[in-house]
């Protein structure tokens, strides 16, 4: 990753989880780990977001919400699945209403492993995602 065209904005959504990974996402955003030092801003509006950071598994109730957030985000965009639950369904995988990981519903660009995921790993995953976002932005600007 050589440079970033703009400060990326992140939207975070918690699927079906134990909230362990969400607490680590909060730690990554707040002053101790301070992901904002990379110019990354947390937003609640999908229309402003470049990065969809999702924790927890997909179930019958949140599947439409996840799709809806993803579809509202402008292109180019990336999806980062944080934790084992977001990757495969994790400990909730055998629950009656769980469909599996995020990749069952929307395309995932980066998987961040762990249970719970360490804030350093989340930041590492976001930085990897920025490289992918930049490539997508370059391809997108060629098409425009």
Q: Within 10 A of 21 (CB to CB), how many other CB atoms are there?
A: 27
What are the tokens at 75?
């292109």
* Shortest CB 124 distance to ligand SF4, Å: 16
| Least distance CB 122 / ligand SF4 (angstroms) | 11
Query: How far apart are the C-alpha atoms of 14 and 19, rounded to whole Å?
Result: 8
Residue at shortest CB range from ligand SF4: 20
CB nearer to ligand SF4: pick between 108 and 133: 108
For ligand SF4, which is the closer residue by CB, 25 or 78?
25
User: How far apart are alpha carbons 2 and 104 in whole angstroms?
Assistant: 32
9 vs 92 by CB, closer to ligand SF4: 92
Binding site for ligand SF4 (CB under 6 A): 17-18, 20-21, 55-56, 83-85, 90-91, 115-116
Q: How far is CA 99 from CA 15, 53, 57, 143, in A?
A: 11, 18, 8, 35
């Amino acid at each position: 990753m050589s440079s970033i065209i703009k400060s990326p904005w992140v939207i975070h959504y918690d699927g079906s989880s134990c909230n362990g990974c969400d607490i680590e996402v909060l730690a990554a955003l707040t002053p101790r780990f301070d992901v904002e030092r990379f110019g990354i801003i947390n937003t609640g509006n999908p229309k402003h977001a470049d990065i969809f950071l999702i924790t927890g598994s997909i179930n019958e109730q949140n599947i439409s919400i996840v799709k809806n957030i993803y579809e509202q985000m402008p292109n180019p965009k990336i999806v980062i699945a944080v934790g084992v639950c977001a990757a495969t369904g994790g400990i909730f995988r055998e629950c009656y209403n769980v469909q599996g990981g995020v990749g069952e519903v929307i395309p995932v660009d980066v998987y961040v492993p762990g249970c719970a995921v360490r804030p350093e790993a989340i930041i590492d995953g976001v930085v990897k995602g920025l490289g992918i976002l930049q490539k997508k932005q370059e391809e997108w600007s060629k098409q425009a």
